[in-house]
């Protein structure tokens, strides 16, 4: 049995840690509502711009890097991992790193050359000490990211995507982040942002009318889309198509299709990255709150266990002292007799 001094020292240190854990939990609890609301408020704008890009991606007559892979045989792909700046968030960063490593392995098995970009001090440190080559890093404000950091990341990735192969350009863009579902569940996702690929969803055996981004490990399949009928009144830069039950909007691009898509592409990338940063921040805060709550409970349980052990040790010491006193008294009585 450990000495009373050692037990008291462990109780004091565990109590101090419990206070730290409780303080971190309270801070995370005060931040989670705002982080969740900010992530949800950004979603409508991101969904709107993604719906517009979906509609453009459905038109097979558009030839632009936003919807079609460049035919230059470039095997490079960019992978962006969104990790945390601080610890005490449970398995938040380790889950992202594990999913990122799996994605890199899958891409390499397909004969591609992934280039890694990392956001968050924890992820940067992880790859730094493993001597892993990283194409770009960003640190700071992982729990409350702003527009400037989203713009810096999107500009770097967009430059890499639009560059040619001889200038180190990439053909695809993936992002690994944690999606905020609720306070208990946060899901790690792999999202292919560029080029946009559509997946038809609908009833079993039928093609639906919605398009979604390729995410996770599921492969996206681009379904055939009917093209617009020939018309002499249709402008050269107009895209439209008809389906069995509905007709998509008729788009007219001015001044030209190329200029419009060149203007949309940076906004699309920045909006999607900013949304991923915000939902990742909400997930990080929720993970930290859950982890600190569990750590506080474990600290309290450990303190209770150590206190019982200390009381048992103290009781054993008292019993030993009483036994020695009684034994000494009996010995004196026998000597007097």
Model confidence at 192: pLDDT above 70: yes
Question: Which one of 62-76, 92-106, 132-146, 302-316 scores highest in mean pLDDT?
Answer: 92-106
Higher pLDDT, 204 or 290: 290
Q: How far apart are CA 314 and CA 199, in angstroms?
A: 69
Per CATH, the number for 34-282 is: 3.40.1380.10
Taking the C-alpha atoms of residue 112 and residue 213, their distance in angstroms, rounded to an integer, is: 20
The rounded mean pLDDT for the chain is: 78
**Residue partners of 211: CB distance under 8 A and separation at least 6:** 54, 57, 58, 198, 199, 200
Residue located via tokens 């389906």:
243
Average pLDDT (119-138) is 91
Instruction: Say what angle helices 257-336 and 4-57 make with each other, to 10 degrees.
Output: 170
Q: Given a cut of 60, is residue 88 above it in pLDDT?
A: yes
Q: Which residues pair with 137 in a beta bridge?
A: 118
**Which residue in 194, 332, 206, 189 sits closest to 270, CA to CA?**
194
pLDDT grade for 107, boundaries at 50, 70 and 90: very high
In Å, how far are 13, 294, 302 from 90, measured between CA atoms? 21, 10, 19
Taking only the tens place, the pLDDT of each residue in 18-77 is: 899 888 888 888 888 888 888 888 888 888 877 777 777 666 566 666 776 666 678 889
**Cα 123 from Cα 80, distance rounded (Å):** 11
pLDDT given at position 198: 56
Higher pLDDT residue, 115 or 320? Answer: 115
In percent, the amount of the chain with pLDDT more than 70 equals 78
Q: How confident is the model at residue 214 (pLDDT cuts 50, 70, 90)?
A: very low
What pTM does this model have?
0.73
121-128 and 92-109 helices cross at what angle (nearest 10)? 50
For Cα atoms 316, 322, 328, give the angle at the middle one, nearest 5 degrees.
135
What pLDDT, on a 0 to 100 scale, did the predictor assign at position 205? 36
Q: Which of 67-71, 177-181, 281-285 is the least confident region?
A: 67-71
| Nearest residue to 220 via CA among 210, 232, 205 | 210
97-111, 162-176, 224-238, 315-329, range with greatest mean pLDDT: 97-111
pLDDT at 105 over 90: yes
Mean pLDDT to the nearest integer, 305-325: 86
Q: Residue 185's Cα: distance from chain center in Å?
A: 12
* Per-residue pLDDT tens digits for 218-274: 333 333 333 333 333 333 343 333 343 454 556 677 777 778 777 778 888 888 899
The stretch 306-332 carries a mean pLDDT of 84
């Amino acid at each position: 049995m450990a000495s009373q001094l050692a037990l008291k020292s462990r109780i004091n240190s565990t109590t101090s840690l419990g206070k730290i854990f409780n303080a971190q939990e309270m801070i995370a609890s005060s931040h989670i509502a705002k982080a969740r609301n900010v992530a949800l408020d950004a979603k409508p704008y991101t969904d709107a711009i993604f719906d517009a890009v979906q509609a453009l991606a459905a038109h097979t007559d558009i030839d632009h890097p936003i919807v079609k892979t460049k035919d230059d045989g470039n095997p490079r792909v960019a992978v962006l991992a969104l990790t945390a700046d601080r610890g005490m968030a449970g398995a938040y960063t380790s889950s992202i790193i594990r999913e990122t490593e799996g994605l890199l392995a899958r891409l390499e098995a397909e004969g591609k050359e992934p280039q890694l970009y990392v956001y968050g001090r924890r992820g940067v440190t992880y790859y730094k000490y493993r001597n892993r080559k990283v194409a770009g890093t960003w640190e700071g404000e992982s729990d409350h990211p702003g527009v400037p950091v989203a713009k810096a990341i999107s500009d770097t990735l967009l430059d890499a995507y639009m560059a040619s192969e001889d200038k180190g350009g990439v053909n695809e863009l993936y992002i690994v982040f944690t999606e905020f579902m609720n306070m208990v569940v946060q899901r790690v996702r792999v999202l292919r942002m560029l080029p946009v690929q559509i997946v038809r969803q609908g009833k079993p055996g039928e093609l639906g009318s919605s398009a979604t981004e390729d995410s996770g490990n599921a492969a996206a399949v681009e379904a055939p889309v009917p093209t617009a009928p020939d018309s002499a009144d249709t402008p050269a830069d107009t895209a439209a198509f008809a389906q069995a039950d509905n007709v998509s909007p008729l788009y007219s691009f001015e001044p030209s299709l190329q200029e419009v898509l060149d203007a949309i592409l940076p906004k699309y990338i920045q909006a999607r990255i900013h949304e991923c940063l915000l939902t990742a921040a909400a997930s990080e805060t929720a993970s930290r709150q859950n982890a600190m709550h569990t750590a506080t409970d474990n600290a309290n349980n450990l303190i209770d266990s150590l206190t019982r052990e200390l009381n048992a040790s103290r009781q054993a010491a008292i019993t030993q002292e009483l036994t020695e006193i009684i034994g000494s008294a009996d010995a004196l009585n026998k000597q007097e007799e």
